[in-house]
Structure 1
Amino acid sequence: MLCYILFVFQTTCLSELPDVAPPLGLVRGQNGSVRCNGRPVHCQPDSGSSCSSKGNSSAEGKGTMPTKVKPWCVGLGICLLFSAVGVGLGVPFALNSSGPSTHQERLEVVRRLLREVPLIDGHNDLPWNVRKFVHNQILHFNFSADLMKVEPWARSNWSHTDLPRLRRGMVGAQFWSAYVPCGAQYLDAVQLTLEQIDLIKRLAELNPDHLTLVTSVKGVQETHRAGRIASLIGVEGGHSLGNSLAVLRTFYSLGARYMTVTHTCDTAWADCSVGDRGATPSPDDRKPGLSDFGKAVVREMNRLGMMVDLSHASVPTMKDALTVSKAPVIFSHSSAFALCNSTRNVPDDVLKLVALNGGIVMVNFYTYFITCNSSASIADVVDHINHIRAVAGLEHVGIGAGYDGINYTPQGLEDVSKYPQLLATLMEDPRWGETEVKQLAGLNLLRVFQEVEQVREKWRLAAVMPVEELIPANYLEGHTDCMYLGS
């Protein structure tokens, strides 16, 4: 039909439309004069468009243009112009709206996207399982094996990770948790944390075809382009510091790029989420949240370029850290309190503060943080992701499953191989296009990480010195039997 209209238009109207371009061979010079085949052309006064080339009278009358145009031809021309524009704009929209229609098609899209950007998970507790199961003796630990068929991993509800499943899950970067239990606080927590950091580094060294230890945004990007999994270290629990900023600096120098300020116990300088201590004074009678020393810890993390992780923190601790930190913070493995009122989750008022801070909440898959009971589904996890997106914004949500540290997983998200299933399910919602999925998968975390690095560089250029503040001795009363305090 369109071809027919164009044909009719060409045969009936084109000869009657004004020629707005000079006739063939005419060129307008820089001074406004018109030249024809290199010779000047003189227009006769009051002769319309009739022009002649000096010395060539045979050119007279050539190029004369009509002075009137039929209105219906002009109208048809305008209609055709808008039709062409409409077709040009409509085709891409039509193609977009006819995107992947089946789950399998969406999976193929997701796999392509995860080759373009790294899927970054904020928290995996495999290192602690390695300590429990093989006592950190990994020279004969085959991480490339299917651990679902290897004892004692096969019979553990806490085991979800091995290299084959990480590859199937298209994981691009993984923060491994250097976790030690709260029972080690004031005892050998520092030593145990050092041993866990050593384990993570050796695990990468023993599997160089798959894992590369990285400490920067650039390292994540380069490792992903090389087809390997970027391994990063996160220290889980401020009790691992032994109340020493020197230990914090040492952890950073060994590769740790975030620290969770608390775990399931209060430290001498920060309150944890257990029991929701929002209005309950701490044992040392200081107000809830971060002490002055705790605020110094956050400032020193900013100076180092170490991400402040607020998973496990009490709400007052969250708010104090968000107030003090000059860099974006993270929640490495937490979900939305509005959907499951576990104290491990993030309330809406804090989600709004995270958005103002520029930080990120990485959604955890533990069913008791998703539905507050022992069963959940992919759809329930999607609900948490969408809630955080709605309250804080798309730029402030990520993924921090918590595998190997949880014993109940959602149906369809049983282990680290299932991330593509989650992203493909998200894409059933038209609000989740390719750009949005990329942000959730890894770009949001990379942005936060990069901004933390930028704060570090600004402070370095400003010659900001290390914090040397000491924790007040009265905060340690009752816990000094195993501590040398002579200096």
Structure 2
Amino acid sequence: MSLHNDSIVIDGLIIAKWERSVFDDMRKGGLTAANCTVSVWEGFTDTVDNIAEMKQKIRDYSDILSLVRTTEDIRQAKRDGKTGIILGFQNAHAFEDNIGYIEAFADMGVRVVQLCYNTQNLIGTGCYERDGGLSGFGREVIAEMNRVGIMVDLSHVGSHTSKEAILESKKPVTYSHCLPSGLKEHPRNKSDEELKFIADHGGFIGVTMFPPFLKRGIEATVDDYVEAMDYIINLVGEDCVGFGTDFTQGYDKGFFDWITHDKGRYRRLTNFGTILNPEGIRTIGETPNLTVAMEKAGWGERKIQKVLGENWLRVFGEVWGA
């Protein structure tokens, strides 16, 4: 376990129920930092409330947590034996129709924002709808996110909107939590062409383990997760790949009903069925098993260190600046 303990370990996306037990599990799992979702469907005001609550938790649990604004904050968290909390959104809904809110959120510490969550908003289209591409407002949003140092996330974004966003952004963008369609066809998974396109344009890919998107679904193990990472690494190389589990720890069915709603009252986009994370990494605290599985798959130490967190650290630096 010394390799895991010595490495910088960054989870590119967690949307767990933010409470002490989850944060303790992050420490148990050896997480140096994680992109933690504080907004999906909330507007500006409710998202500010969520950020205030998260910052209060970081203060209350300052023995194990710290707020991340810079890559140096991540390195400091590692030195201090804490987990750095990166504030992230899974939808730009909270920007509403006001470009000025983007800098306001950056000032609050937000560092990653996904443009759309499954469906269409003012910026572009999600992956479950006919994709009309990036709007004019969306282009202005990306320019402002580039300016203030917020990373553009495209995980749940439609293919056409994603391609236009990749071309529009002057800084690296990410699929923070995705899987390859080459292993399983699903609207949320990315084709070989899409994965190559983001990588060829300086972007970054975080690989998820959300069971409905994995080849073997709820039968999957941590080894299947590593297989999916290797599939993508074989396409794009090991320097632009990390992991983003999409842990939903602590949530019940009501949460999934809420996040998968559609426009139009009571409409649902999708039904995920049973959510059971891969055997061996069912909880955040089992993250060290990911390193063991990488070693078992024959990965060298350098490759493991890069995918565990060093790649994320580098690309965050390119987006966030000093």
Pairwise TM-score range, normalised by the shorter structure: 0.7 to 0.9
Residue 452 (structure 1) aligns with: 319
Q: Summarize the alignment of residues 349-364 of structure 1 with structure 2, pairs less than 5 Å apart.
A: 349-364=193-208
Q: CA deviation at 1:410?
A: 1.0
Q: Summarize the alignment of residues 340-419 of structure 1 with structure 2, pairs less than 5 Å apart.
A: 340-371=184-215, 373-404=217-248, 407-419=275-287
Q: Aligned to 1:265, what secondary structure does the other structure show?
A: coil
Q: Is the 8 A contact 2:116 2:123 kept in 1?
A: no
Q: Residue 231 of structure 1 aligns to which amino acid in structure 2?
A: I
Q: Residue 28 of structure 2 aligns to which amino acid in structure 1?
A: R
Higher RCO (C-alpha 8 Å, min separation 6): 2
Q: Is the 8 A contact 2:111 2:320 kept in 1?
A: no
Which residue, 183, 190, 193 being the options, matches 1:339? 183
Residue 208 (structure 1) aligns with: 62
Q: Is the 8 A contact 2:32 2:83 kept in 1?
A: yes
The C-alpha deviation readout for 1:185-206, integer Å capped at 9, x for no partner, is xxxx111111111122111110
Gaps of 5+ in 1: 1-107, 131-140, 148-160, 279-287, 458-487
Q: Residue 175 of structure 1 aligns to which amino acid in structure 2?
A: N
Residue 260 (structure 2) aligns with: none
Runs of 4+ in 1 over 4 A off after TM superposition: none
Q: Is the 8 A contact 1:377 1:412 kept in 2?
A: yes
Q: Residue 442 of structure 1 aligns to which amino acid in structure 2?
A: G
Q: Residue 257 of structure 1 aligns to which amino acid in structure 2?
A: R
Q: Residue 355 of structure 1 aligns to which amino acid in structure 2?
A: A
Residue 121 (structure 2) aligns with: 267
Residue 170 (structure 1) aligns with: 30
Q: Which protein is bigger by CA-based radius of gyration?
A: 1
Q: CA deviation at 1:372?
A: 6.5
Q: Summarize the alignment of residues 68-467 of structure 1 with structure 2, pairs less than 5 Å apart.
A: 108=1, 112-126=2-16, 129-130=17-18, 143=20, 147=21, 161-163=22-24, 165-181=25-41, 189-275=43-129, 277-278=130-131, 288-371=132-215, 373-404=217-248, 407-430=275-298, 432-454=299-321
Q: CA deviation at 1:342?
A: 1.5
Q: Distance in 1 between matches of 2:80 and 2:125?
A: 41
Percent sequence identity is: 28
Count of paired positions: 298
Q: Is the 8 A contact 1:311 1:333 kept in 2?
A: yes
Q: CA RMSD in A?
A: 1.7
Q: Aligned to 2:85, what secondary structure does the other structure show?
A: strand
Q: Residue 279 of structure 2 aligns to which amino acid in structure 1?
A: Q
Q: Pick closer, same or farther for the CA change 1:180–1:352 going to 2, 3 Å.
A: closer
TM-score of the superposed pair, with normalisation by structure 2: 0.88
Q: Residue 409 of structure 1 aligns to which amino acid in structure 2?
A: N
355-364 vs 255-264, greater mean Cα deviation: 355-364
TM-score of the superposed pair, with normalisation by structure 1: 0.59
Q: Distance in 2 between matches of 1:190 and 1:263?
A: 16
Q: Distance in 1 between matches of 2:48 and 2:276?
A: 29
Q: Distance in 2 between matches of 1:175 and 1:393?
A: 23
Q: Aligned to 1:427, what secondary structure does the other structure show?
A: helix
Q: Distance in 2 between matches of 1:345 and 1:197?
A: 29
Q: Distance in 1 between matches of 2:290 and 2:124?
A: 34
Q: Residue 436 of structure 1 aligns to which amino acid in structure 2?
A: K
The C-alpha deviation readout for 1:297-325, integer Å capped at 9, x for no partner, is 11111111110001110001110111011
Q: Distance in 2 between matches of 1:262 and 1:445?
A: 21
Q: Is the 8 A contact 1:236 1:259 kept in 2?
A: yes
Gaps of 5+ in 2: 250-255, 257-274
